[in-house]
Amino acid sequence: MAETIKLSIKRQDSPDSTSYWEDFEIPYRPNMNVISALMEIQRNPVNSKGEKTTPVTWDMSCLEEVCGACSMVINGNARQSCTALIDQYEQPIKLEPMSTFPIVRDLQVDRSRMFDSLKRVKAWVPIDGTYDLGEGPRMPEKKRQVAYELSKCMTCGVCLEVCPNVNSKSDFMGAAPISQVRLFNLHPTGSMSKDERLDALMGKGGIAECGMAQNCVKACPKGIPLTTSIAAMQRETTFHMFKSFFGSDHEVE
Ligand code: SF4
Ligand code: FES
């Protein structure tokens, strides 16, 4: 008998409908990953009872763990499905959508919560105009190395998914946007908006709501030092608070 792959997929037809589990059994091919298994189901949407069903929906883009779009919970752990190799999983492989974000359909979630936080903290370097800006400012090597590590964030949402303080009842932005404030405040041009970013971090849903569970740093697929970023931003926001409280006239001289 031909070798097969058994999958159990948590499905939901629309944002408001009830979820249900559906099992699938598909032909095995060497070196398959979760996305190639989902593509096989899409090609022939028949469940393990032999019934025709609707194709499973999920998000993906880069297929090389760079965009973060394909994140889902695989056998209980949130990660990217494009690099999740079938051979490394116990079967039936359980696929669920991340629970921190609203469901769009099946394994597809709406990660706007994270992108809205990134907008709130101005996670970009402001540059105006379309004229030639010339070379960017140079960064000291040590700073550049830290910035490079932080810049690996692919907004996959895994650090929010594993955080007990990020949920539908809380506004906490989670580790990724906090770490991005550290990144953009390190940049010589980005640091011109440093105070605005720190103000945003001190606002509703900001850094004060971190409970230091430390799940984020263990789960981040890019190995970003998230708890170091959080500690650094806690120090920065404290200095910023004192500076705002006592005034900063001495800096004008
Ligand atoms: S910090 Fe890590 S886990 Fe969080 S969104 Fe970025 S890459 Fe994903
Ligand atoms: S498709 Fe981009 S990270 Fe998986």
Q: What's the pLDDT tens digit per position in 210-238?
A: 999 999 999 999 999 999 999 999 999 99
**Category of 50 on φ-ψ map: left (φ > 0), alpha (ψ -120 to 50) or beta:** left
CA 140-189-136 angle, 5° bins: 65
Give the pLDDT confidence score for residue 128 in this predicted structure: 75
One domain, residues 97 and 141: no
Of 109, 124, 159, the residue that ends a domain is: 109
Given a contact cutoff of 8 angstroms between Cβ atoms, the answer to whether 3 and 28 are in contact is yes
CATH of residue 54's domain is 3.10.20.30
Which residues 6+ apart lie within 8 Å of 215 measured at CB?
A: 159, 162, 163, 164
Is the C-beta atom of 162 inside 6 A of ligand 1? no
User: In the chain, how many domains are there?
Assistant: 2
As a whole number of angstroms, the distance between CA 240 and CA 222 comes to 29
List, for residues 181-203, the tens digit of each pLDDT value: 999 999 999 999 999 999 999 99
Is the distance from CB of 226 to CB of 159 less than 8 angstroms?
yes
Whose Cα sits closest to atom 5 in ligand 1?
155
3-state secondary structure at position 12 = coil
Q: Judge contact between 237 and 201, C-beta under 8 A.
A: yes
Which pLDDT value is given to residue 243? 86
Are residues 129 and 100 part of one domain? no
- 246: three-class secondary structure by DSSP: helix
- Residue 252: which pLDDT band, with cuts at 50, 70 and 90? very low
C-alpha–C-alpha distance, residues 108 and 93, integer Å: 17
Ligand 2 proximal residues by C-beta, below 6 Å? 60-63, 65-70, 80, 82
pLDDT digits (tens, 9 = 90+) for 60-104: 999 999 999 999 999 999 999 999 999 999 999 999 999 999 999
pLDDT given for residue 166 in this prediction: 97
Instruction: Quick: pLDDT tens for 24-50.
Output: 999 999 999 999 999 999 999 999 999
Q: Is residue 251 part of a domain?
A: no
Q: Give me ligand 1 centre to Cα 156, in Å.
A: 5
Nearest to 137 by CA among 188, 208, 64: 188
Phi first, then psi: give them for residue 186, nearest 5 degrees: -75, -25
pLDDT of res. 26: 97
Residue 8: which of 73, 100, 101 has the closest Cα? Answer: 73
pLDDT classification of 2: cutoffs 50, 70, 90: low
- Helix, strand and coil content of the chain, in percent to the nearest 5, comes to 40, 15, 45
Residue 252: inside a domain: no
Q: Which atom of ligand 2 is nearest to the CA of 70?
A: 4
Counting ligands in written order, the one closest to the CA of 64 is 2
Peptide bond into 97 cis (omega under 30): no
Q: What's the CATH code of the domain at 144?
A: 1.10.1060.10
Helix (H, G, I), strand (E, B) or coil at 108: strand
Q: Which ligand is nearest to the CA of 158?
A: 1
Q: Ligand 2: which of 66, 74, 155, 222 to mutate, most ligand atoms within 8 Å of CB?
A: 66
Give the per-residue pLDDT at 202. Answer: 97
Amino acid 234: pLDDT? 97
Query: Do 128 and 229 belong together in one domain?
Result: yes
User: Which residue range forms the structural domain that includes residue 135?
Assistant: 111-246
If asked whether residues 218 and 190 sit together in one domain, one would say yes
Same domain, 19 and 68: yes
Question: How does residue 253 score in pLDDT terms, banded at 50, 70 and 90?
Answer: very low
Checking if the pLDDT of 1 tops 90, the result is no
For the segment 101-111, the average pLDDT, to the nearest whole number, is 98
The residue among 135 and 103 whose pLDDT is bigger is 103
Average pLDDT on 102-114 reads: 98
206 belongs to a structural domain: yes
Of 34, 82, 107, 222, the one to substitute when testing ligand 2's pocket (max ligand atoms within 8 A of C-beta) is 82
Nearest-CA residue for ligand 1 atom 1 is: 176
The residue ranking higher by pLDDT, 29 or 244, is 29
Predicted pLDDT of residue 134: 79
CA of 132 to the centre of ligand 1 (A): 33
Average pLDDT, the chain: 94
Per-residue pLDDT tens over the stretch 4-17:
999 999 999 999 99
Q: What is the pLDDT of residues 151-188, one digit of tens each?
A: 999 999 999 999 999 999 999 999 999 999 999 999 99
**Last-in-domain residue among 55, 77, 109:** 109
Residues 6 or more apart whose Cβ sits within 8 Å of residue 188: 137, 138, 139
